[in-house]
Structure 1
Amino acid sequence: MKNSISLIGMAGAGKSSVGKMLATELNLEFKDSDILIESHYRKSLQEILNQQGYLKLREIEDLVIRSIPMDSVVLSTGGSAVYSKAAMQYIQQHSNVFYLQVPFNLIIERVPSFSDRGFAKKPEQTIEEAFYEREILYKQYSTYSIDNSAKIEECVASIIDLI
């Protein structure tokens, strides 16, 4: 029986907000892979991205996710975690994986600027192109897809109903 939950989705999908509330409701520990990266490397995601590039940031994300003990945890992953097959297999093996679906236009409303978020994409790729590329991977790796375009409480309730 898997006693952990992992949240995947685009930046702005609400993974951290939903994750914190879910962890509180279910009395589980909350972990955010982006925060773990920043605290371990003592740099923001954007600094890592600027200094080492998007591929290195994705590599770091993979290593950090696979190092998280997945016992009674709600894990909020970085949006680019789905580019690591190993990280995704790890969280699938140890948790129920929920893709927080939010339409692109709402993502842009929630995140007006991606320039300081440490958004790991190819330099020539637009945010919209990255969104649609990732959407396929989010659906592929998730156990469940949950709409999070309304209230966070509704999303949390839907996840609790499913588990």
Structure 2
Amino acid sequence: MRDNYALVGFMGCGKTTVGRELAKRLQCPFWDLDAAIAQGERRTIPEIFAQQGEAGFRELEHAYLKQAAGRRGVLSCGGGLALFPRNREVLSRHFTTVFLDCDFETCYQRIRASSRPLVQDKSEAEVRALFESRYPIYQACCDLQVNAAHSPFMVVQEILKQRRRHR
């Protein structure tokens, strides 16, 4: 396993919050990939989606992922990043990939009022279908899978415990 961590999971599972806590615990840098894209492109993620569509955003996401692959630290990935084989290849080569496994109801409560492009104007049933379609992909690409329904501190404890077991 690598000393770089990439956190994957559905929107609202806690990737950014847990990522910050994990980086603090490991005393290493933390990057939120969506925030890095927005900062680098000088536009919000919804603006990028509106101007370039999802395909344009996914191209940017892949480019920024490759940049992050050369750095030591903890990376919070966007919810859709792991859907694409070329991104999964970068994850498997350069990161210990951690799936933050969180139930749909918890994720939905956290994201339903958000401005996330992929949930705006979608019913709960549509968001659930998206969740269910992505779940097996997250499972298949991860090195570690942790229950993310607990406090960020407890989730980080579990990541580190599983990491020690797999060394």
Cross-structure match for 2:51: 51
Across the two proteins, how many residue pairs are aligned to each other? 161
Q: What is the aligned partner in structure 1 of residue 117 from structure 2?
A: 118
Tell me what 1:103 maps to: 103
Give the residue type in structure 2 aligned to 1:36.
A
Aligned mates of 1:108, 1:6 — CA distance in 2: 22
RMSD over aligned Cα atoms: 2.0
**1:54-69 matches, cutoff 5 A:** 54-69=54-69
For 1:145-156, what aligned pairs fall within 5 Å after superposition? 145-156=145-156
SS at match of 2:68: coil
> How many angstroms apart in 1 are the aligned matches of 2:59 and 2:130?
18
Cα distance, 1:99 vs structure 2:
0.4
Render the CA deviation track for 1:64-119: whole Å, top value 9, x for unaligned.
111214432101001110122112211211111100011111111111224x1233
Secondary structure of the equivalent of 1:53? Answer: helix
Greater helix fraction, Structure 1 or Structure 2: 2
Question: How far, CA to CA, are the matches of 2:84 and 2:67 in structure 1?
Answer: 14
2:141 and 2:70 map into 1 onto residues whose CA distance is 17
Secondary structure in 1 aligned to 2:57? helix
Q: 2-side partners of 1:33 and 1:26: how far apart?
A: 19
Give the AA of the match of 2:116: R
- TM-score, structure 1 length as denominator? 0.90
The corresponding residue for 2:83 is 83
* Counterpart in the other structure of 1:8: 8
CA distance in 1, matches of 2:18, 2:46: 23
Matches within 5 A, 1:29-48: 29-48=29-48
State the AA in 2 paired with 1:102: C
* Maintained 8 Å contact 1:104/1:131: yes
Identify unmatched segments of 5+ residues in structure 2: none
Gaps of 5+ in 1: none
SS of residue paired to 1:67: helix
Letter in 1 for 2:76: S
Conservation of the 8 A alpha-carbon contact between 2:69 and 2:90: no
**Could you list the per-position Cα deviations for residues 26-60 of structure 1 after superposition, in whole angstroms to 9, with x for gaps in the alignment?**
01110111011101111111111122212221222
The normalised TM-score by structure 2 is: 0.88
